[in-house]
Chain A
């Protein structure tokens, strides 16, 4: 059934439809509405779940870890400083191989105190062993939540679903809600093979010397590799019941493109529209939206780039002292594989609006120059 809702509520609905059993969260703007809604849903008895109020995000993740260890489907949501405070626990959830799903509203790290869109918060958690998605619409948020539980529970890795503050969190749009029965069929209850069980007591996460730790890391990498196929297969299954197509990347008009823009989050959707305008002007451009940064879909990306002659990456994030993170990742994927120039652009940090005109400017700049560039800060007031 189609409904209008804010991106935040799409996250709440995604969790409800996934029949999460434990929610532990601490409020932070612009995430607050997600958990407020869930606490209402739980209080009204519409979702049989335990809502745990905690004193910090660190505790929220700790509670999710506890719940997930016992085999419960656990959910939380956060943003920026809250996600940063979880950092230690994120590594724990990853290495304990717990299929927790979390929403993160991409918000700029403070100071300056900001509540606006910026990807640095979730990208700072890139190496914690979480699968990591950047959603680009309210529909994407809802669908990704449901899909992620299935994927996470198969490969035993947690998933982080990030989406831009306000551009998605507080924007009302049309969302097609799948029927609960349909979701139930797609996503059966979580029955873990490995769990904390009073009838089979054992210790988890105990001292692990170098004879084994190394192998646990290896196994995590193996799971990430397998996840690529599992994600594809799960997305296909989801498409069968909903008609909506998802993948690790979304290539728009890339097949015959001479130049491909590489984007993520809400900028990706605005770029799709921009590509149409640029095509009308006669420029053969495409847009490659990176949805998953972990596992990194290297093969898919190389295939989508195909015979393009140039790439232009737009990053709403920055690794200070080097460059945008999507740009770095892309360059390392291309190395030894495809030898074409990559031009790197920063845009939209701290929620600065990225308009069609801005993306056009970036495209024109990239079309005009054939050499790889020093980082260009689109629209920075120097």
Chain B
């Protein structure tokens, strides 16, 4: 069977070694494994306070913060709620909100 290296947005069924690339390399699981489901606290940017320094963008480990129209925008499909951005924001412009409230 051909070795898979093409990314897939659906889970790939790997039967054995011959479905795998030679080296450990991602085959696109992030396209369907959305880490947003891990989040229990949601960071929300207060654009009135935000000075667009993009420190949050730099620190987000996911990275789930994108720059859209010169503003930091959180992608909640992937934001895992680690709150690193909240910690690092110099203007306290990111608020924490409990999920499911």
Complex contacts, A200 vs chain B, CB 8 Å: 7
Knowing A215-B17, A218-B17, say if A194 contacts B22 (CB, 8 Å): yes
Choose one: A97, A205, A212; the contact of B22 (CB below 8 Å): A97
| Bound form: Cα–Cα A188–B24 in Å | 26
| Bound form: Cα–Cα A97–B5 in Å | 14
CB distance from A152 to the nearest CB of B (A): 12
| Bound form: Cα–Cα A59–B3 in Å | 32
Q: Of residues 1 to 54 in B, which have CB atoms within 8 Å of A's CB atoms? A: 5, 7, 14, 16-17, 20-28
Task: Say whether B23 contacts A222, CB under 8 Å.
Answer: no
Task: Say whether B21 contacts A95, CB under 8 Å.
Answer: no
| Bound form: Cα–Cα A66–B7 in Å | 22
Complex contacts, A206 vs chain B, CB 8 Å: 24, 26
Q: Which residues of B does A touch, CB under 8 Å?
A: 5, 7, 14, 16-17, 20-28
CB distance from B61 to the nearest CB of A (A): 13
Task: Say whether A202 contacts B7, CB under 8 Å.
Answer: yes
| Bound form: Cα–Cα A95–B24 in Å | 8
CB distance from B18 to the nearest CB of A (A): 8
Task: Say whether B24 contacts A202, CB under 8 Å.
Answer: no
Q: A204-B25, A204-B26, A220-B22 are in contact. List 5 more A-B contacts (CB 8 A).
A: A95-B23, A194-B23, A205-B23, A212-B24, A218-B17
| Bound form: Cα–Cα A232–B14 in Å | 32
Complex contacts, B25 vs chain A, CB 8 Å: 194, 202-205
CB distance from A11 to the nearest CB of B (A): 27
Q: What is the chain B residue whose CB lies nearest that of A156?
A: B22
- A193 interfacial by beta-carbon distance below 8 Å: yes
